[in-house]
Structure 1
Amino acid sequence: MSTTTTTTTRTEEASPTRSARRWLALGILALAQFLVVLDASIVNITLPSLGSQLAMDTATLAWVITAYVLPFGGFLLLGGRLADRYGHRRLFLLGTVGFVAASAVAGLSSSSGMLLGARAFQGASAALLAPAALALVTQLFPSTSDRTKALGIWGAVAGIGSAAGVLLGGVLTAAIGWQAVFFVNLPIGVIVIAAVPALITRDPATTHSRLDYAGAATVTGALVAAVGALSAVGQVGAAHPLTLGLVAAALVLGLAFVLIERRTAEPLVPLGVFRNRNLSVGNIVVLLVGAAMVALFYALSVFMQAVLGYDALTAGLSQLPLAGALVVIAGLAPNVVGLLGARRTLVGSLLILAGGLVWLAAAPSDAVFALHLLGPSLLIGVGLGGAFVTATQLSVDGVEGGEAGLAGGLMNTSQQIGGALGLAVLASVAASRTSALEAGGTSTAASLTGGFSWLFLGAALIALAAAGVGSLSRRHSATV
């Protein structure tokens, strides 16, 4: 090897991830993140059709969701650290290839076992893809102003993906069949895999560092157990031995992880990272907003179909105003942050979100969309757009390149845990209220409406709690 070649190679390895076409690269990375978020919700509407063709009962159908969420939530922190060690671009591409392959297998599934295995591999691949993608974004945009805009787009993707899942699930299932909700990932994934190497330079691997295997095993086990326990609440109940056993396992493994991280020289998650107040606040807010959002989209879809009599396509189209407001506000949020600051923008957005949820809780069982649902939908979209953008920015505030994957893993883990927690708790609240109303002789439609009203009010309380946490963020920060 010549001296020139050696010098060039070392220079490239020492350089941070970069791209001459950063905004196009951001669009490609956002496409991949969109798929990850989309696949957590797009399957919901197609479950009845899927279950009929693959002979899956109600209990087994729930695992179509759980099989994806468990490895996704469980392996995110490990995925983020692997990206920091072996290179963010490399792990991103590996995760995307795995995600696309698993999507193809899921669409071709001829049995429930084949489908559930593919969903699990999808989730594990997403756990590699998501934190590496966010790390690449933070490295592509090192300057404060550009990073604020980029993270504004990135934060909006999470909300848009969840809202779009209901719409696309209904459209694709009605037009083509349940297989389409998985096959839609293939062309987008291929575009991402082809474009990223051309747009983003390879970042250096830090293979000299030692991977904290004990920490990785305990935190992954703890997260899998925690997500499993939250999923089990909705399937078998909070007092079931399976749920209690998973909670106990999560607590024991979580404690073991903390003890290991305190004693190891090169921890998987340096506990000192949580001394970054904005990072800690951002992650707590993401967790709480995720809890409110996942429960909201679940309940809104069921309310429109089971109570108002909408078909799947109409229910999806009815959420377009919410998604549209979210997109518009996500684009404006960086400018608002520049004028008002991150803390005021975050708290204001969360208060608007809470107001929209309270308004939605007042919808009657014979609600007219334009009169009872359109207004709160727009408010909720505004609140979610501003909250997600600002909380995402806070969660990576002040993070160095060597911990960018960790920060991405933490943020995505917070969102997944929050979503599972919110759905488990608020769905149980709604079910209890519905049962109580039915026992008192109330009609089915009115009972369901009463249950969902409590769910929306519970989500509003979570949004208010998030606003309280958001007020603790630092007034000035390096990122926003």
Structure 2
Amino acid sequence: MTTHPSPSPAGPDAAAPPVSVGQRIALLVLLTASFTLALDFSILNVALPRIGAEVGFALADLQWISTAFAVCAAGFTLLFGRLADLFGRRRQFLAGIALLGAASLLGGLAGEPWLLLVARVAQGIATAAVTPAALSLLTTSFPEGAMRDRALGINGALMAAGFTTGAVLGGLLTDLISWRWAFFINVIVAVAVLAIGPVVLKETASLRRPRLDVPGAVTVTVALVAGVYGLTQAGQHSWSDVRSWASLGVAAVMILAFLVIERTVAEPLVPLRVLARRTTGWGNLAGVLAFATQTSVVFLLTVFLQEVRGFTPLQAGLTFAVMGVGTVIGGLIAPRIIALVGGRRAIVSGLVIQGSATIPLAFLGDLQAWMVVLLIATFLGGVANLVVIVGFMVAATSGLPDAEQGLATGLATMSQQIGITLGTPVMSAIATAAGAGAAGIAGAAGVLNGVSTALAINAALCIAGAIWMAFALPRAPKKPA
């Protein structure tokens, strides 16, 4: 049985080897890429009506600008996570960045709907390739313990800040310059990363080249693509939509087929022993919950601010700046919290605080100082959410050898992207049903009733998740006296 280095000793200030200049530059390159990829998930949302008018999308087809990206980003991430282990993380990272730059240039210049959709598909595939490669380069560049936790904390903070910043930056670019600059920014970043990355990033290809589990790769990719497509269709239309249930049915069948294949092949894409580890399995579920609940809070509050309070898209986006600050602070303090109380307690306490901060948001309509409450609650929720996210990242990638870090970070990235994709359609369906089901309530009052109901359920999910994780995640081993 292979042994691995134990985590760093107790204390946030535990001694760690000094970080070299090369490591710092490599970390900067990887963090820049992660921030940019997170930005892409939200930067176009507020610009969709303007894009539709200029490029020629029908109103009903605007959703495909987001769906095409989300389906590919989530659907291919596990496959690329394993490919990074087998054929080289640095090589895949740089190739993915090059594809992202080319796809973004195409999207920024697109004058036809089909061309823009091709660009979004390519951006999604590039995201699926780059994100697990970047994370595994990060985890293999720093030893398990305080240094890695700190790097993961900064990475998590920037990813969450990127998602929030996307809403603000998308509104600014659309109103002040052009929505096309939401694409062109990626081109600039890609050129910079490709100029510096080859010099500072080290290749980490596996010395042994096992055969790729093609049946497993095909079934899990089809399952993820079908599942994400089904969820997005449910959010755009309804949970009774036949396309949604048909796609989710295909996803379920493919997942069962994947599990059977992984039990029988000699060299599985995802060894089931990895999924059976409590820190990996339950840690990734905590990640899905963290991303699903917090990103859906952003969606629900966007609806509240624009439909109930009459904010413009730019005003609504700027409101989330306080949450963005909270996420950055949460990412920076999370490693210290994990060092003090352990990953399990950090995840549980973070979910409790996030849920508690969401509860007042369900009562905004009856509060006179609603804006003050919103800003305080979203700030606290942002801090707590990042503690959970960093805790899940540490749990999901700990205790595994470097040869399986691409797999581990691929699973973690998949959890992140499924959570982002899952949260909005589920909460949208709840809000729509609650708003429509309130007899005699219409217009802004109906929207408020639906949003309040969805926020209350969101808070309940956080608290229930905290209780579950308190029992499901393993306790940290006692440290020697």
Same fold, judged at TM 0.5 (above): yes
Partners of 2:75 and 2:222 within 8 A in 1: yes
Aligned to 1:259: 260
- The question of whether the paired residues in 2 share the 8 Å contact of 1:307 and 1:365 is answered with no
Give the letter for the 1:52 counterpart: A
* Residue 156 of structure 2: aligned partner: 155
**Which range moved further: 207-216 or 89-98?**
207-216
Q: Distance in 2 between matches of 1:221 and 1:67?
A: 15
Could you tell me how far apart the structure 1 residues matched to 2:91 and 2:178 are?
A: 34
Check 1:266–1:250 CA distance in 2 against 1; reply closer, same or farther (3 A cut): same
2:476 matches 1:473: no
Q: Cα offset for 1:418?
A: 2.1
Task: Please tell me whether the aligned partners of residues 365 and 449 of structure 1 are also in contact (alpha carbons under 8 angstroms).
Answer: no
Taking the aligned partners of 1:435 and 1:200, their CA distance within structure 2 comes to 53
- Paired with 2:326 and 2:427, the residues of 1 have a C-alpha distance of 25
What is the alpha-carbon distance in structure 1 between the residues aligned to residue 119 and residue 341 of structure 2? 45
Whether 1:353 and 2:354 are equivalent positions in the alignment is yes
- Contact 2:435-2:441 within 8 A present in 1 as well: no
Matched-pair identity in %: 36
Contact 1:355 1:379 in 2 (8 A): no
Deviation at 1:442, TM superposition (A): 2.6
Q: Per-residue deviation at 1:232?
A: 1.2
In 1, the alpha carbon distance for the partners of 2:241 and 2:362 equals: 30
Q: CA deviation at 1:107?
A: 0.8
What pairs up with 1:127-142 in 2 under 5 angstroms? 127-142=128-143
Q: Is 1:451–2:450 an aligned residue pair?
A: yes
- Aligned counterpart, 2:402: 401
Structure 2 counterpart of 1:42:
43
Supply the distance in 2 between the matched residues of 1:52 and 1:302 (Cα, whole angstroms).
22
Contact 2:144 2:398 in 1 (8 A): no
Deviation, 1:70, is: 0.8
Give, as a single letter, the amino acid of the residue that structure 2 aligns with 1:468: I
Contact kept, 8 Å, 1:353 with 1:379, in 2: the verdict is: yes
Partners of 1:54 and 1:149 in 2: how far apart?
43
Tell me how far apart the structure 1 counterparts of residues 206 and 397 of structure 2 sit (CA, whole Å). Answer: 21
Alignment deviations for residues 332-361 of structure 1 (CA, whole Å, 9 cap, x no partner)? 111122222222222111111001111111
The secondary structure found in structure 1 opposite 2:384 is helix
Q: Distance in 2 between matches of 1:468 and 1:192?
A: 42
- Cα distance in 1 between the residues matched to 2:206 and 2:341: 39
Matched AA of 1:168: L
Aligned residue identity for 1:464: I
Q: What is the CA–CA distance in structure 1 between the aligned matches of 2:144 and 2:395, rounded to whole Å?
A: 15
Equivalent residues of 2:89, 2:133 under 8 A apart: yes
For residue 329 of structure 1, report the CA deviation from its aligned partner: 2.2
1: CA distance, partners of 2:371 / 2:322: 11
Task: Give CA-to-partner distance per residue, 1:98-141, whole Å, 9 cap, x none.
Answer: 11111111111101110111100110111110111110011110
Cα distance, 1:327 vs structure 2: 0.8
How many pairs does the alignment contain?
459
| Alignment match, 1:435 | 436
Deviations, residues 18-58 of structure 1 (Å, cap 9, x unaligned): 97521331121011111212111111100011111122122
CA distances 1:43-92 after superposition (whole Å, capped 9, x unpaired): 11000111111221222100101000111111011101110011111001
Deviates more, 1:244-253 or 1:114-123: 244-253
Q: Contact conserved, 1:305 with 1:311, CA < 8 A, in 2?
A: yes
| Residue aligning to 2:380 | 379
Superposed displacement of residue 158, structure 1: 2.7
Matched, 1:124 2:125: yes
Q: Aligned partners of 1:62 and 1:303: how far apart in 2?
A: 20
| Aligned equivalent of 1:327 | 328
Rounded Cα–Cα distance in structure 2 between residues aligned with 1:97 and 1:465: 42
1:463 aligns with 2:466: no
Question: Residue 348 of structure 1 aligns to which amino acid in structure 2?
Answer: S
Q: Is contact 1:103-1:122 (8 Å) kept?
A: yes
**Normalization by structure 1: what TM-score?**
0.92
1:394-450: per-residue Cα shift (whole Å, max 9, x none)?
11111211111111111111122222222222100101111123xx33341121111
> How far, CA to CA, are the matches of 1:314 and 1:473 in structure 2?
40
Q: In structure 2, how many angstroms separate the alpha carbons of the residues matched to 1:385 and 1:82?
A: 28
Matches of residues 273-422 of structure 1 in structure 2 within 5 Å? 273-364=274-365, 370-422=371-423
Which amino acid in structure 1 is aligned with residue 200 of structure 2? L
What corresponds to 2:74 in structure 1? Answer: 73
Task: Judge conservation of contact 1:86–1:206 (CA < 8 Å) in 2.
Answer: no
CA separation of 1:190 and 1:380: change in aligned 2, threshold 3 A: same
Change (3 A) 1:292 1:272: same
CA contact (8 A) 1:308 1:365 kept: no
Match of 1:7 in 2: none
- Please list the CA deviations of residues 179-221 of structure 1 after superposition, one character each: whole Å capped at 9, or x if unmatched: 1111111112222222211112222344631001111011101
For structure 1, list consecutive stretches of 5 or more residues without a partner in the other structure.
1-17
What amino acid sits opposite 2:440 in the alignment?
A: G
| Of 185-194 and 469-478, the range deviating more from structure 2 | 469-478
Q: Structure 1 pair 426/370, CA: closer, same or farther in 2 (3 Å)?
A: closer
- Mapped partners of 2:50, 2:276: distance in 1: 48
* Aligned partners of 1:70 and 1:123 also within 8 Å: yes
Please say if residues 20 and 199 of structure 1, whose CA atoms lie closer than 8 Å, have aligned partners that are also in contact.
no
* 2:63 is the alignment partner of 1:62: yes
CA contact (8 A) 2:108 2:184 kept: yes
Secondary structure of 1:208's counterpart equals: coil
Distance 2:313 2:190 in 1: 26
SS at match of 2:45: coil
TM superposition score normalised by structure 2: 0.92
Q: What secondary structure is seen at the aligned counterpart in 1 of 2:46?
A: coil
Considering only aligned residues, what root-mean-square deviation do their CA atoms show, in Å?
1.8
3-state DSSP of counterpart to 1:211: coil
